[in-house]
């Protein structure tokens, strides 16, 4: 057991987010509290008998029936899914409200549709949303969120704080939203909550593993429930817990913490020990109420989107490794459609925006649902004016993290790019041909891309200050452009044709 002590009988508070409480009497018997964690769950339905909100809800209900339970959501949920591309995550918040989340912190995907949608969805939440490092442009706390939270369960006081990765500035569309340092915020919040009398400090975070481990080493919390990397992870170094529940609730980590709180010599000694259980959702019977809600949303979606639009004569591959690591036929289809839609000389789309992660054999009949599944973010096709130098810089950024399968990998149209991955990032682009002619660094080119990339998303800072010929206000959804193209063509045959050449 690990533990610490604090004095009895004092009052504490941390501003408006915390209610002043009195330290209560010592516990007669140890108390076991179950923390059920989910993270990175945007698909409401199960796939192949695993995952989805109904199976997750069943696990939460079973734990609540056993005893004190805290249902923790570590972020990334309102996007990217097929239905979210239409309703911007309204259905997800409705389902989570019904499941009665105890604490949630936002992930980067909560900002996929911009700050306005973030505020709208958070405003609809009837459960506590805790964020300690997200701030409005004026420095204020986002509405309907708390900087921290203390709850008491059977005499045990649990302090919560929340963190969202600063990378949200690059990988999502948060506008002018501020993201304070995760590490500095965590250190301050951990100390403040302990000073306020929390027996356990819990960090609900959506941060990379490297940050998670710094929180563990710094003892910035007793328990760290993380998301973002989509790892299935339980870790305990004898002092601090770190867990993550994979993705899509396929597996669910339950951390049961037994707390022994005793009074001795005028002080309260708190000792605790964790016990982990990883639940395979395939072994769980879905909660019937949540399953019914999911089905009602699925029926609505099916009726609206499962409309055939055309056939592909060639195979298409949108698997993550393909669209983030090589020229892809589906990437060519999307880039060509964008280029034609706005009459641009070249087009570039980040592979990370192509999301369905599936294969379509030759002869597959495509539907609107397929296209929205591939392009769920609501990105729009904009038209920019860029110099050849800026285009080359953008391509260098796009090929800088190929080994990490980063979303910035470019799918292109109107270009042939020769790349040497043995070179250092920033020096990998050997040559670029634009419609058959060498790239001229001084010349200006018209570029079709997404509003996300144009705004500097996924590291494409070279485009951020480019002149806009078609701005997001006047632009159409990329998915709509592709749907219209396939519908008009009736039969398509995109293929890999040597636009990206690796030496």
Write the CB contacts of 195 (distance below 8 Å, at least 6 apart in sequence): 12
242 and 391 fall within a common domain:
no
Encode the chain (503 residues) as per-residue pLDDT tens digits. Answer: 666 544 322 222 333 233 333 334 456 689 999 999 999 999 999 999 999 999 999 999 999 999 999 999 999 999 888 788 889 999 999 999 999 999 999 999 999 989 999 999 999 999 999 999 999 999 999 999 999 999 999 999 999 999 999 999 988 889 999 999 999 999 999 999 999 999 999 999 999 999 999 999 999 999 999 999 999 999 999 999 999 999 999 999 999 999 999 887 778 899 999 999 999 999 999 999 999 999 999 998 888 888 899 999 999 999 999 999 999 999 999 999 999 999 999 999 999 999 999 999 999 999 999 999 999 988 999 999 999 999 999 999 999 999 999 999 999 999 999 999 999 999 999 999 999 999 999 999 999 999 999 999 999 999 999 999 998 877 889 998 999 999 999 999 999 999 999 98
Helix/strand/coil (H/E/C) assignment for every residue in 451-479? HHHHCCHHHCHHHCCCEEEECHHHCCEHH
Question: pTM for this one?
Answer: 0.77
Look at the block and give the residue holding tokens 């989107």. 305
Find the domain containing 147 and state its range.
Answer: 2-298
User: Are residues 193 and 150 in contact, defined by beta-carbon separation less than 8 angstroms?
Assistant: yes
DSSP state of 130: B
Count the domains in the chain. Answer: 2
216 and 357 fall within a common domain:
no
Can you state the angle between helices 209-218 and 182-195, rounded to 10 degrees?
Answer: 30
190 and 132 fall within a common domain:
yes
293 and 314 fall within a common domain:
no
181 and 276 fall within a common domain:
yes
Q: What's the CATH number where 92 sits?
A: 3.60.21.10
349 and 293 fall within a common domain:
no
What is the residue-wise DSSP string for 323-341?
Answer: HTTS--HHHHHHHHHHHHH
Q: What is the pLDDT of residue 85?
A: 81
Among residues 265, 280, 298, which one ends one of the domains?
A: 298
Among residues 274, 298, 322, which one ends one of the domains?
A: 298
Among residues 298, 320, 343, which one ends one of the domains?
A: 298
Going from the C-alpha of 98 to that of each of 53, 125, 412, the distances in angstroms are 11, 10, 43
Q: What is the pLDDT of residue 475?
A: 86
147 and 19 fall within a common domain:
yes
57 and 20 fall within a common domain:
yes
Q: What is the pLDDT of residue 321?
A: 96
439 and 493 fall within a common domain:
yes
Half-sphere exposure (Cβ direction) of 123: Cα atoms closer than 13 Å: 7
Q: What's the CATH number where 465 sits?
A: 3.90.780.10
Q: How far apart are CA 296 and CA 303, in angstroms?
A: 11
Q: How far apart are CA 356 and CA 441, in angstroms?
A: 35
Beta strands in 240-307 (DSSP E): 241-245, 251-264, 267-280
Q: How far apart are CA 470 and CA 473, in angstroms?
A: 8
Over residues 273-314, the pLDDT tens digits come to 999 999 999 999 999 999 999 999 999 888 888 889 999 999
Q: How far apart are CA 295 and CA 298, in angstroms?
A: 5
445 and 363 fall within a common domain:
yes
The dihedral sign for the CA sequence 441, 442, 443, 446: positive
285 and 399 fall within a common domain:
no
Element (H, E) at 285: none
106 and 196 fall within a common domain:
yes
């Amino acid at each position: 057991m690990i533990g610490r002590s604090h004095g009895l009988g004092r009052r504490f508070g941390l501003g408006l987010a915390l209610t002043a409480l009195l330290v209560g009497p010592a516990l007669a018997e140890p108390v076991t509290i179950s923390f059920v964690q989910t993270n990175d769950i945007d698909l409401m339905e199960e796939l192949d008998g695993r995952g989805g909100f109904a199976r997750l809800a069943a696990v939460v209900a079973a734990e609540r029936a056993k005893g004190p339970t805290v249902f923790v959501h570590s972020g990334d949920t309102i996007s990217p899914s097929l239905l979210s591309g239409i309703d911007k995550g309204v259905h997800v918040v409705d389902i989570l409200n019904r499941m009665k989340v105890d604490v949630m912190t936002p992930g980067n995907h909560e900002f996929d549709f911009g700050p306005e949608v973030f505020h709208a969805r958070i405003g609809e939440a009837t459960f506590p949303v805790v964020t300690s490092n997200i701030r409005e442009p004026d420095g204020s706390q986002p509405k309907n969120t708390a900087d921290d939270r203390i709850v008491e369960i059977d005499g045990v006081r649990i302090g919560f704080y929340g963190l969202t990765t600063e990378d949200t500035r690059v990988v999502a569309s948060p506008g002018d939203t501020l993201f304070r340092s995760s590490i500095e915020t965590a250190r301050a919040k951990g100390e403040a909550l302990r000073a306020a009398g929390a027996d356990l400090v819990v960090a609900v975070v959506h941060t990379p593993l490297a940050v998670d481990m710094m929180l563990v080493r710094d003892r910035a919390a007793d328990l760290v429930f993380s998301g973002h990397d989509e790892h299935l992870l339980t870790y305990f170094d004898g002092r601090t817990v770190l867990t993550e529940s994979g993705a899509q609730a396929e597996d669910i980590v339950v951390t049961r913490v037994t707390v022994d709180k005793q009074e001795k010599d005028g002080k309260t000694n708190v000792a605790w020990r964790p016990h982990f259980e990883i639940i395979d959702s395939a072994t769980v019977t879905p909660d019937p109420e949540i399953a019914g809600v999911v089905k009602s949303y699925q029926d609505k979606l099916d009726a609206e989107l499962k409309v055939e639009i055309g056939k592909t004569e060639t195979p298409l591959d949108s698997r993550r490794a393909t669209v983030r690591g090589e020229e892809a036929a589906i990437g060519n289809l999307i880039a060509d459609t964008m280029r034609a839609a706005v009459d641009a000389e070249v087009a570039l789309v980040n592979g990370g925006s192509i999301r369905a992660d599936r294969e379509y054999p030759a002869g597959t009949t495509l539907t609107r649902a397929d296209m929205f599944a591939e392009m769920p973010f609501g990105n729009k096709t904009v038209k920019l004016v860029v110099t050849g130098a800026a285009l080359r810089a953008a391509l260098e950024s796009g090929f800088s993290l190929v080994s990490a399968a980063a979303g910035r990998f470019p799918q292109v149209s109107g270009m042939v790019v020769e790349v040497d991955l043995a070179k250092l990032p920033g020096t990998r682009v050997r040559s670029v041909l634009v419609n058959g002619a060498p790239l001229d660094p001084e010349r200006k080119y018209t570029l079709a891309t997404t509003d996300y990339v144009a705004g500097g998303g996924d590291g494409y800072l070279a485009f951020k200050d480019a002149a806009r010929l078609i701005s997001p206000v006047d632009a159409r959804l990329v998915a709509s452009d592709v749907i219209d193209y396939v519908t008009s063509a009736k039969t398509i045959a995109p293929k890999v044709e040597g636009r990206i050449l690796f030496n």
